Amino acid sequence: NAGSRLFVLPQIAYVMNADFLSSTKFGVALFTPFGLGASWDLYDPPIGFYERGYTPPKAFPEHDWESDISITCAYIGLARKFGPLSVGIAGGPLFGSISLRKVKLYDPATADTSLYSLPVQFRYFPIDTRFDGNGVSFGINFGIKLEPLKNLSLGLSGRYYSPVKLTGDVNSAIYFPKNSVLESLADPEGKIFFQGGVLEAEGDVTTELKLPLSLGGGISYDFGDLTLAFDAELTTWSVLDQVDLDISGIGFFGDSLSDDTMVMNWRDTWKYSFGIEYRGGEKTVIRLGAYYDEGAITDSTLTPLIPDINSKVSVNVGLSYFLTDRLTFDFNYEFVRASRKNVSSFVDVDSDGEPDNMPGEYSLSVDAAGVGLSFRF
């Protein structure tokens, strides 16, 4: 079951004429180009894992698969017009935040081969693991617009982000079953496996998160009260081949925590967008848009942590209303739906003995709304 999630993504910008240069504008902005997350209840200890009436010292989390990823940028930019050509560039620091939680299963037979014969409910012990990290990096955007004819505009744009070096911590808890009979039969070292306890471990983590380069081009034509626009954008998601987690700390049984790798193997994608803008009188502007966005994640690494399951289709409706000559109210609504996907089998991409995906039937729909105010000085 998926948990309900509400995301608030504030964005603010200020643009002004640069008095020291003709035909030039200066701007600052705070915005979130990347933001996603999910919360799922995918695992519960099996029936018989605990004896009747037993309460473990620490309850297993209700939502055991969670993600919360965001990139926020604080940019300064300049744009200048050279006749029919306009050029703009902006850049500044970006602040990355990532939180991931998932369940792994520990096989006690790796420590004691005699445990291979255990009843099925005791064969695997759940390990709840959570990673939280933050980091700072740098990004830059550019844009070029050419107006070869009075009503025709051609555009080219791009976005680049340097890799984000993240530092944070990892917290894990392993949950043992409670069975008095098996506890009495176990040797002294093995009794802990059946006492219903919880062992916890924590450590420090460093990693580097690569972000994709985006390049796009578009065309628009102004018919007077009506403007039509089309653009296409390539995003190089294939830079996310894997994320290596360097972990230091003490494990459950006094050993050192081992490094981990998140296998991604994402692919580059194209996004195609079409839009219409209608200026209905002096105070109202109505916008309608749609796009098709290819899916970046392959079946071999798809899990519920990143809810970008497949190619997506979106429909957008927007409205701008001029409250005064200087103040404008903006509203937009977006509906997104992804093609249903069925992943039928586990895949171990890096041959480490653990699957890198999660089989299941995936579906996705998103409703998003935004409001804004613009003031002209």
How many CB atoms are closer than 10 A to CB 12?
9
Tell me the three state secondary structure of residue 122. Answer: helix
Burial of 268 (0-12, 13-18, 19+ CB in 10 A): middle
- Token pair 């839009």 in the structure block, residue: 275
Residue 3 carries which DSSP code? P
Phi and psi angles of residue 116, each rounded to the nearest 5 degrees, phi first: -60, -25
Strands 260-263 and 226-235: unpaired
pLDDT digits (tens, 9 = 90+) for 17-31: 877 777 899 999 999
Closest CA to 303 of 263, 351, 353, 257: 263
pLDDT at 12: 87
Residue type at position 22: S
Whether residue 194 has pLDDT greater than 80? yes
Whether residue 8 has pLDDT greater than 70? no
Lowest-confidence segment of 23-32, 79-88, 147-156, 304-313 by average pLDDT? 304-313
Based on C-alpha coordinates, what's the Rg of the chain? Answer: 26
How much is the pTM? Answer: 0.85
pLDDT level of residue 207 (50, 70, 90 thresholds):
very high
Whether residue 309 has pLDDT greater than 90? no
pLDDT digits (tens, 9 = 90+) for 52-95: 999 999 999 988 999 988 899 999 999 999 999 999 999 999 99
Lowest-confidence segment of 203-217, 278-292, 306-320, 349-363 by average pLDDT? 349-363
pLDDT at 174: 95
The CA distance from 270 to 361, in Å, is: 24
